A and B are shown apart, each in its own frame.
Chain A
Amino acid sequence: MTKLTISQVSKIYADGTEALRGIQVTAGSGEIVAILGGSGCGKTTLLRLVAGLDQPSGGEIRLDEMLIAGTHPAISAVFQEPRLLPWLNVSGNIGFGGKRLTQAERQRRTAALLERIGLAAYGKRWPRDLSGGQQQRVAIARALIGHPGILLLDEPFSALDPFTRATQHNLVLDLWRELRPTILMVTHDVDEAVFLADRIVIMRPRPGRVHAMMGVDPPRPRDRLAPAFDLMKRRVMRAIDRSLAEEQPRQDSGPSNLSPWV
């Protein structure tokens, strides 16, 4: 269990593009925080900074109290695409995430995870033999085998059909309840954010900034059909509308932007 603190993080690319400005986000131990925003608002950039794949131009990222720079053994990630290694079989791909484990432990956890993701019979198959949803489940297992303190999810469900996506959501929640990693996830799907997250951070673009933060009230397990769920979704969408309204000059805002912020 690890607390993630992102403070005053900014990112300016070499070509001068300002991708992120003054990002301030914390995720408490074992909490699920969803970063919600349209494309181009820097959510993936932010995740890459936390993963250590890029360096922030300013600000700092801490795990508990420890300052991190670069990749860190306690931080694991699932990308937008499964990114399985095609030359390793399914078991090998899951085990790939458990580099620091002993071989026996790695095998034990691989077998257990294969069972958990419903692919117990697929350990010796190649990734290419799996469907997109199955591959993404393998990627989730690979990210969790090392019992990371922080799990980063970069829209891993966006390419899946709604049925598969719902299954995937439940799988992630189950594994989260069991292993309790702190999850920082990026999504543009309001329903997904409300279903999974404890807190939602809404970002807006050019440069990417935090627009609003809100707690998600409905208690777990959440029912997508419950009125409270709908209410929550509506609150989030209103906040998004406000962020869009702020983004554009007044005359461009549509009739739905009845925002007192403008």
Chain B
Amino acid sequence: MTRASRLVGWIIPLLLAAAWEATVRLGFASGRLMPPPSRLVETASALLRSGELQSDTLATLTRVVIGFAIGGALGTIFGMLNGASSLMRRLFDPSIQALRSIPSLAWVPIFILWMGIFETSKIALIAVGVFFPVYLGTLTAIQSVDRKLIEVGRVFGLSPLGIALRITWPAVMPIWIASLRSGLGLGFMFLVAAELMGASEGLGYLLTDGQQMGRADTILVAMIAFALLGKAADAVLVALSIPLLRWQDTARTRL
């Protein structure tokens, strides 16, 4: 994408922001429930000055990173084991699929009961959110590796381990990375669920705080921070994966 075409995406949000700003300034609306952009900037800079926004973002980010690492690792491991062995798959997959259909919020009470209201239960919840898409993606990817390429590995004398490392793994990579991305997205959703349920810091806490204080501007700043954080996390993931997917025909256009 060229620089100019990247900027096209900014036109609509900027126009809307300017329109709303003008509406409030000209007195057509009070802006109490929907504060104009200038107020959001003020609120954000106040939160930044007090250091609150940074510490909340950091708290949220820490939870996501740890939860993502745990859920992603477990999802990958189970996906690989169940993808490679039909015995493992028949043993574990039905249970995992059953657990997958439990809605995210339903985990909250039991996690709080088991792990308390502090970090552990939140991280566990995020890990659960990340686990399922990564597990499913890895499993499907391994099952769909081209048998013909595996045969190439066999003819040229690779051991089963060599085939796993030099053929299965690179073949699985594109779908695995896509599943990590959707896992990360779901992880953020579960994170908000966790933070709304009771936290003393974090962007989710900022949301609840804004709601209790009746401050729409705080809520909106937290929401925007979520959007930026989620987008940034995804961008980091994509940037890390580009060298691994350079061979792919579609990599450049899709990512």
Contacts and interface: CB of A to CB of B under 8 A. Distances in A.
A142 B156 CA distance: 9
Given A126-B247, A128-B249, A85 B152 contact: yes
Contacts of A51: 155
A142 B171 CA distance: 19
B248 interface: yes
Interface in A112-163: 126, 128, 142, 146
Interface residues on chain B, size class: 10 to 19
A87 interface: yes
A235 B148 CA distance: 36
A53 B156 contact: no
Majority secondary structure of chain B interface residues (helix, strand, loop or mixed): helix
A88 B246 CA distance: 10
Contact of A85 (B149, B155, B157): B149
A222 interface: no
B241 to A, nearest CB: 13
Contacts of A89: 247
A87 B156 contact: no
Contacts of B248: 86-87
Given A76-B156, A87-B170, A96-B156, A53 B151 contact: yes
Interface in A3-57: 51-53
A81 B157 contact: no
B154 A53 contact: yes
A86 B157 contact: no
Nearest to B169: A87
B238 interface: no
A83 interface: yes
A86 B247 contact: yes
B156 A79 contact: no
A71 interface: yes
A75 B157 CA distance: 10
Nearest to A152: B155
A73 interface: yes
4 shortest interchain CB distances as A-B pairs? A87-B170, A87-B247, A77-B155, A83-B152
Interface of A: 51-53, 71, 73, 75-77, 79, 81, 83, 85-89, 96-97, 99-100, 126, 128, 142, 146
